[in-house]
Amino acid sequence: MKHVYLLFFFLFVSVCYGQDAGANADIDGFKLYPNPVTNGIIYINTSQNAPKQIFIFDVLGTQVLETTILGPELNLSELDAGVYVLRVYERNKVATRKLIIK
């Protein structure tokens, strides 16, 4: 049964990637560290350092966090350990990465 959920999740993510590929490009100079997260804090740096809208999804595709950050630091201490999908929007560009929290 878990395999079915994972299949639906990857199908969902691939459809989302396909929708974003035409209009939006990857964010210039995007850096995410540390990954895996061990202390509850990650840093997201970009070339423009503009405000970023952050969405985090669990492996089932459920949105678990939505926030906007003005600087590079994001506190994830409220999230449980696991694998997530991080989606960052900055000035009509998007970056999507796998995020691991230990």
Ordered by where they begin, the domains of the chain are: 2-101 (2.60.40.3080)
With vertex at residue 27, the alpha carbon angle to CA 41 and CA 22, rounded to the nearest 5 degrees, is 130
Q: Which helix (H) or strand (E) holds 98?
A: strand 93-101
pLDDT values of the chain reduced to their tens digit, one per residue, 102 residues: 666 565 456 555 565 555 444 445 699 999 999 999 999 999 999 999 999 999 999 999 999 999 999 999 999 999 999 999 999 999 999 999 999 999
Which of the 8 DSSP states describes residue 37?
A: B
The Cα–Cα gap between 85 and 63 comes to 9
